[in-house]
Structure 1
Amino acid sequence: MSGKNSDNKKEAQPQTGMHRRGPRGMGNIEKAKDAKGTTLRLLNYFKEYRVKIAFVVIATVASSLVGLAGPYLQGVAIDKYIVLGDLDGLLRISLMLAGVYVFTTLVAGVNSVIMAGISQGSLMKMRKELFEHMQLLSLSFFDKNQTGDLMSRLTNDIDAIGALLTQNVTQLVQNLLTLVGIIVLMFSLNVWLALASLIVFPLMIIFTAVVGKRTRVYYRDLQKQTGGLNGVIQETLGGQKVVIAFEQQDAVNKKFDKMNQAVKETGVLALTYAMMVPPIMGILSNANIAIVAGLGGWMTLQGLATIGTIATFIQYSRQFANPLRHFANMYNSIQSALAGAERIFEIIDTPPELTDCEDAVSPQQIQGEVVFEEVDFEYVPDVPVLKNISLHAKPGETIALVGPTGAGKTTIVNVLTRFYDIQKGKITIDGLDIRNVKKDYLRSKLGIV
């Protein structure tokens, strides 16, 4: 064996005294920030559930339209039956109101069951695609990404998407229909009261949009840092014997505290923006009701509106605020889910570094002559591990590689099995460059103890 090897193999981050084969760390993957593109890509996972989704949408539309009749029927009950003392008419309209609320409740229950099945089926497909793609990635990918962070993408990020699908999709459709329906009905009942009800609407929209944008940024950072924290925990607990043996408890505690503090600070920012929305929306909603009640009272005294109309508008004003409040609350789930989806698609879009060439072969027989010809290899750029390595192992010959830890013994085995590709030189088996041999076949002929 001739040439030089290096024991200065660089690691991305210290690993609590545990020796690693190659660089470790978070990896510098560019974060996707295309919310529209991520959303469209997520929708592809629901194609096989189109019929069920269509049923849920139709049922939600019917439920929303029927639900809009509730406040209108209350106003009719006041003006035509309560004021006039018509008990029979009041009973009839009360039964109609009960039917409205029973129908909307049943539809909500059925939709929840269907959406749970759709959500879990889609998540299973996404989880399977992510896990299977990880099996195709080379060891260098896992060197650059902490195990805990990858596990976080398979669990926490998937769960964030599931929470959005299970709880909020039907609400989104229902709230949109309710919002449009309320506006149409209010203008059909009384134009001036309808205009008064919309005074605070622009403020609600602007506030929701501005705060929602910032929330998404912080949720994405929070999930990234949570993945890093999970990586530190997994690596430390997995190598706890080494930590204790080399008295590295203080070092791992400092590393954990640093990551934990970063998660805390980002979490405070994310939750501060998220929790800011409900109370502000509540204040604007109450202001809207006060405007409607004040103007409606004056119009009633002037004979321009009835008590039933005012009661209907107050109910619609409350319902009008509910969709906006739900939209604000949904931002938390939406931002978390989109951030999680971006992190998942980053892994799925990572191409395998080691692939078979088009003319790769599977030799019928292997004699076992192994030759390294002036091989150079480095785990990270400009940090050589093997330099100008040449060796020749004849069939049946036994060779022992001896050297201190980090000298490159395991690295020689890694490049022989094509866990990594060399940067310079050539490795042949029976005169055939291993890069021209199918990986699966090559590894099936090698034994590692």
Structure 2
Amino acid sequence: MSQPMGARPSSGGPRSLMGPDTLPETSALPPGTIPRVIALFKPHKVGLSIVSAIVIISGALSILTPLLIRNLIDKALFPASELPNIDLLWKISLELVGLTILGALLGLWQTYLTAGIGQAVLRDLRTKLFDHLQSLSLKFFTGTRTGEIQSRLQNDVGGLQTVVSDTAATYVSNVVVLISTVIAMVILSWQLTVVSLIILPVFIWLTSVVGKYRRRVSAATQVSLADMSAITEESLSVSGVLLAKSNGQQAGASDGYRKQSSILARLQVKQQIVGRGFFIVVSSFFSVLPVAVFIVTGYVNTGGIVITAGTILAFTGLQTRLFFPLGQLLQSTTEISSSLALFNRIFD
């Protein structure tokens, strides 16, 4: 492994020369980053296999629910005989309750496994990074600020916790749910499915743009955190305090810290705005889509093909099951994209 962090002179001021609105010029990742990330998960193949099985089973169960709802509406509550079929109503209702309970238990088990695997990966990553730092020569430590070293070990690794413990598993789960939901939608009505899927290219493009920008913001934020750690270490150590008091530099040190803190605050606001703004646009758009389903249903029924009330109700529910995971999937994509910047800093 190469040095986990580049050596930088400690004699100058804060390393970052970026203004508050300046981001790294490129978001490209070194070719070896993703294989090295995958290698971190290899010791946990068994656990990952179990999680994958749970995700597939959960996806299969998600197909059954809307189909049962359609039968409950069209055959149990409002059958052709006009009188509710109570026996069938109870049967379908109990099946729906059973599926809900089973899905909740599987979700709980999945969370337990993914959290355990994620924490184990972070533990191994911290330990390997710490051991590697101890093996480096004294020249590395004299040329690198202590605060920056601590930032790599604490801030960068800590910033991966959510992604490693939750986001990656959620991403895979949402992919399975997305595929199974599309299958169920086609079974209910291929015409309505076409209308619902027509917006996918737009969101794929939007995800790509947002992901690249958010990764740049994430990289700049971690650099700013490292700068703040270095300034704190240099200014508040015994030698730093003595030097500042001897030369009357307390005001200058405070001013430098204040400027770096302002840069960090603006970068973190950018992170929040990009993520939240993207989510608002997606959720607002998805809220309007059921209207398109109602309009298309009217035209289809006029043409002689009957789409029942149960089908419409089940389909609009599936739209939520499609677009909510899709929204999460797009959000997870930006989070994973951002996390690659942290992995890149750690492996650097």
TM-score, normalising length from structure 2?
Answer: 0.87
Give 1 or 2: higher helix fraction.
Answer: 2
Deviation sequence 1:312-337 (CA, Å, 0-9, x none):
11011111101221023224531332
Q: Match of 2:277?
A: 276
Deviation at 1:187, TM superposition (A): 1.8
Q: Match of 2:199?
A: 200
Deviation at 1:127, TM superposition (A): 0.8
SS at match of 1:135: helix
Give 1 or 2: higher strand fraction.
Answer: 1
SS at match of 2:205: helix
Deviation at 1:297, TM superposition (A): 4.1
Q: Is the contact between residue 278 and residue 329 of structure 1 (CA under 8 Å) also seen in structure 2?
A: yes
Within 5 A, what are the aligned runs for 1:131-210?
A: 131-210=130-209
Bigger relative contact order (CA 8 A; separation at least 6): 2
Counterpart code for 2:54: A
Distance 1:31 1:329, change over 3 A: closer
Q: Match of 1:95?
A: 94
- Cα RMSD (Å): 2.3
Within 5 A, what are the aligned runs for 1:294-333?
A: 294-300=295-301, 304-333=306-335
Q: Match of 1:372?
A: none
Q: Is the contact between residue 33 and residue 342 of structure 1 (CA under 8 Å) also seen in structure 2?
A: no
- Cα distance in structure 2, aligned partners of 1:36 and 1:295: 47
- Cα distance in structure 1, aligned partners of 2:63 and 2:30: 32
In structure 1, runs of 5+ residues without a counterpart are 1-9, 16-24, 347-449
Larger Rg: 1
- Cα distance in structure 2, aligned partners of 1:59 and 1:229: 43
SS at match of 1:56: helix
Within 5 A, what are the aligned runs for 1:422-437?
A: none
Deviation sequence 1:110-132 (CA, Å, 0-9, x none):
11111121111111111111111
Q: Match of 1:391?
A: none
Q: Is the contact between residue 282 and residue 325 of structure 1 (CA under 8 Å) also seen in structure 2?
A: yes
- Cα distance in structure 1, aligned partners of 2:184 and 2:59: 13
Distance 1:200 1:36, change over 3 A: farther
Within 5 A, what are the aligned runs for 1:237-316?
A: 237-238=236-237, 239-300=240-301, 304-316=306-318
Q: Is the contact between residue 289 and residue 318 of structure 1 (CA under 8 Å) also seen in structure 2?
A: no
Deviation at 1:11, TM superposition (A): 6.1
Count of equivalent residues: 326
Deviation at 1:32, TM superposition (A): 8.3
- Check if 1:115 corresponds to 2:117: no
How high is the sequence identity, in percent, across the aligned residues?
26
- Cα distance in structure 2, aligned partners of 1:41 and 1:11: 30
- Cα distance in structure 2, aligned partners of 1:151 and 1:109: 35
Distance 1:240 1:331, change over 3 A: farther
TM-score, normalising length from structure 1?
Answer: 0.68
Deviation sequence 1:133-155 (CA, Å, 0-9, x none):
11122233223322122111111
- Cα distance in structure 2, aligned partners of 1:124 and 1:83: 57
